[in-house]
Every structure is written in C-alpha cells, then in structure tokens.
Structure 1
Amino acid sequence: MPRTSVVTGAASGIGKATKELLEQRGERVIGVDLHDAEVVADLASAEGRAALVDAVRKVSGGRIDAIYANAGLASAAPPTVAVNFFGAIATLEKLRPLLKGSDAPRAVVVSSMAALMASDEELVGRLTAGDEQAAMARAEVLAKEPTTGGLIYCSTKLALSRWVRRQAATADWAGAGIPLNAVAPGIIATPMTAEMIDTEQERESLLKVVPMPLNGIAEPVVVARLLAWLNSVENTHLCGQIVYVDGGSDVVLRGDSVW
C-alpha cells in the first residue's frame, strides 16, 4: 500500500517540490496551503489549525504515514510567529494521532540555518514557553523597528529547532516509534527568497551573510530529497537532529561546534 503523507506549504517552494517528488515515487500526498491545495487552511490561527486536522482526517480516512511541517513565512511581522512556530507545532502534535496506524510513522519540520543568526532572547523565551499571545505581542514590538524586525524570523526558527531537540526523544515521539527531525536549509531559490536573489549583486551580498561554498544557492528539490529520506521507511534511528542542508553555511559560521 502506498504511503500517505501530509505536506504543509505545498503550493510553492520546498513544499511543492516535496509534494511532487513524493508523488513521483508513488506516494499519496495530501497538500495543505492557503490556496491550490487539497486542504486549504490558515495555520496562523487556532481555527485554521483545527480545520487542518479535521480535513486531513476526513481526506485520509484517519490514517497517515508521514508529516512534513513545511509551511512558513519570512516577513518581519507577527504572522511569522504564528505560522513558523505555533502553526508548525500544531501540525505535528495534532496530526500525530493519525500516525498510529502506520507501520513506519515519520515526522519532519523545516527550520532554517537562520537559527544560527542573531535572535531576540525575549521572543525565543516566550515561544519556548508556548505562550502565543505573549510571543505575538513581543513580535509586534520588534516589527516596529527595521533594526529588530528581522529578528522575528530567526527567533522562530531557533525556537523551533530547540523544540525538536527537546521533544524528539520523549514518549510521544521516539517512545511511540516516530522519528522526529528537522532540516535547516540555507538560501533556497523559492518565491520567499525571490526578491533577495533577483540580481547577481543581491545574490553576492546575501551569500556574504549566508556563505554557501558548496554549489551556492540551491533549488527546492535539494531540500525535498532530504525531507523524503528523513520520512522514509529507511530512516529508523535518526532522532531529534537538525540537518543543515545549506551548502556549508553551518560549517563556515560555527566551525568546530557540533550543534
């Protein structure tokens, strides 16, 4: 029987590439997005997250094999907090019960190498505490200044990576036989980054901040291939890892550090 996977953010970028790759390999994919998807849901709200679960349960018949929590925003605004962190976690936690009937349940979330960049300690703390209202309020403050607005995205990805590290080995995940991991892409050529890499000068400028010595800026399918392996039946023991698919950014920026 073909595996059934749920991919959020499936209408574009990494999510679209992942959906297409899995379908090429014979999987049944339930795509989720704000438009052009089998399940239309807004992960920025509690109502949208609940609608996601109800729709996936109905479409799948109550059983899935893998979760790809990919949906995300990169704007310097509060909705980035709602989608990148709380939306991603809700996707994983609320869909987890549907994995129980799978012989090889798997889950993966898309973080970012931006987690290595400057972040806002207060926002990360509120995210880690799971206080969405307080986190959104802090993001409102940060968004008011150009110098701090960019910290929102990095903070959500740092908190998300930490959440994976803290949850992966628990009874709910590893204890239930579900490998939970994350990928941390570098610069990927998607609609999200289009304006930042539109010209050669812009690309060179961005690569000075996010160095990618191995083959430079990547296409979405590069990340999709890694995601597909992490959620495949072959992955039986990788647990709680943040796998950097960044052309070497992590190596250049962190050197000897092993995490």
Structure 2
Amino acid sequence: MPRNVVVTGSGSGIGAALTALLRARGDRVIGVDLRGGDVDADLSTPEGRATAAAAARDAAGGVVDAVVTCAGTSVPGTAMVTVNYFGTTEFLTALRPALAAAERPRAVVIGSISGTQPSDPDVVAACLADDEATALAHAERAVADGRARQLYPSSKAALAQWARRTAVAEGWADAGIPVNVVAPGIVLTPMSAGIFDDPEMKKVMDTAVPMPLNGYLRPEDVAAAVLFLVSEENSHITGQVVYVDGGAEATLRGPSDF
C-alpha cells in the first residue's frame, strides 16, 4: 500500500534522489521546496515552516507515514541556523500529530559529518533551547567575527543532539515514531559543486573529510540509507546518527569514539 512521505528539499541533491526512489517503489511523495515543489515554502521563517507543515499535512489527508528533512544550505550565513536547524526541528515537530496518526510512522533528518567538527557552543546551546532569536544573535556575531563557516557544523551538531533527545521524548517513541539522523560525508550535489572547482578548497575538504571507502558519495547513495530507515521494516532503530561517509567519521575519531 502506498505511503505518504513528506520530503523537504525535494527539488535537488539528496531530496531529489530520495523522491525518485520513493516514487519508484510506489510511495506518494509530498515534496517541499522553496519553489517548484508540491508545497512551496520558505523554511527560514517560523511562518513559512508552519504554512509548509499545514499544507503537507493537508495534502496527505492528515496522515503522514514518514518525513525526511533534506532542506538545508551550506552558504555561510545565518540561514545555516534558520534553515538547517529550525527549518527541520519546527517543521518536523509540527507534523508529529500527523505522524502519530499513521500505523508505522518514521522520521529521518539529514545531518552531516561536519557535525563532528568544531562548532560554536553558544549557537548550539541556543538552538537546543529552541531560542531562535538568541541563536540568530550568536550567528550574526559569528559572521561579524569572520567565523561564518563555523555555523554549518554548529547547525548539524545541534540537529544530531536534538534528534537523539527527541527520539526518546514523550510523543515520539511512545507513539511509535523512530527518529534518526543520516550524516553524509562529501556528496556530489549542486550545493558542493563550487568546492570541487577550487583546487585549494578541494584539498582542504579532502583533508577534513577523508573517505577511504569508495570516495565521494552520490545523492543516491545517501538516499538508499534513508530508504531503509523510513521503511516499515525499521521497527527499533531510533536516536541514531548513521554516518554514510565512506569511513570518514571512523578515520577522524578513531575506533574508541562511538
């Protein structure tokens, strides 16, 4: 029986690859994107998130079988906080009742290997406190101080912590909703294309994220991992950060950090 799956960032990269895989197996995908989706919305604002969640819920007839949040940005700036973190957590929380109404609901958040890298503790703390105004103030300070690139790992570190906390919180596990994070290494997407065009940036990237198994990822490689976590077969995996990274996390943090 087809399932209703909501995918944010469905228009490109991992979101587009996942949408294709889901539709190929017969699921109904409700794609959310800035433009060109089944639901067009700006996830950088509270109003946009609420509107998008309501539209996705209505399109699914009030019952959502799975949500996958792929929407995000790597462009240095405050959108790394508003879109990457709050655009995921508030959107997913708004859809929790529709997930709970499903027989076998699932939720997956797209994180990143960068979540293991140095981050801004003030930004992370404000995000986890659900204080967007304070998170934005700290993010603006980071930009002014020339630390804008630190906001991406900050948003992804906070997202992983939020997912692990939420996975066992009231209204989630007790409602049968697994919540997991898929954290890719370097993915060949339009968002990362500029890095590969710059030899110096590519060198820095390869040092920061070494991928000994099969090299760079295709969006489809990440989508395949997500596909199992949102499937009905995933009955007990929750609160996990699954690194789809060619061995980068194991290389960087070693065998004792797990």
TM-score tier, shorter chain, comes to over 0.9
**Cα distance, 1:251 vs structure 2:** 0.4
SS state at 2:95 partner: helix
What amino acid is aligned across from residue 89 of structure 1 in structure 2? T
Any runs of at least 4 consecutive aligned residues in structure 1 with deviations exceeding 2 A, and if so which? 198-205, 256-259
- Which aligned pairs between 1:20-169 and structure 2 lie closer than 5 A? 20-146=20-146, 148-169=147-168
RMSD between superposed Cα atoms in Å? 1.3
- Which residue in 1 is equivalent to 2:18? 18
Cα deviation, 1:99-140, whole Å, max 9, x if unaligned, reads: 123221000100111011111111111111111000001111
Cα deviation, 1:217-241, whole Å, max 9, x if unaligned, reads: 1100000011111000010010100
**What TM-score does the superposition give when structure 1 sets the normalisation length?**
0.96
SS state at 1:181 partner: strand
Distance in 1 of aligned mates of 2:96 and 2:123: 27
Q: 116-125 or 239-248: which moved more?
A: 116-125
Unaligned stretches of 5+ in structure 2? none
What amino acid is aligned across from residue 61 of structure 2 in structure 1? G
Distance in 2 of aligned mates of 1:177 and 1:118: 34
Q: How many equivalent residue pairs?
A: 258
Is the alpha carbon distance of 1:121 and 1:201 closer, same or farther for their aligned partners in structure 2, counting shifts above 3 Å? closer
Cα deviation, 1:62-112, whole Å, max 9, x if unaligned, reads: 111000011111122111100111110012110111112322100010011
**What TM-score does the superposition give when structure 2 sets the normalisation length?**
0.96
- Which residue in 1 is equivalent to 2:244? 245
SS state at 2:15 partner: helix
**Cα distance, 1:172 vs structure 2:** 1.4
- Which residue in 2 is equivalent to 1:190? 189
Distance in 1 of aligned mates of 2:176 and 2:96: 11
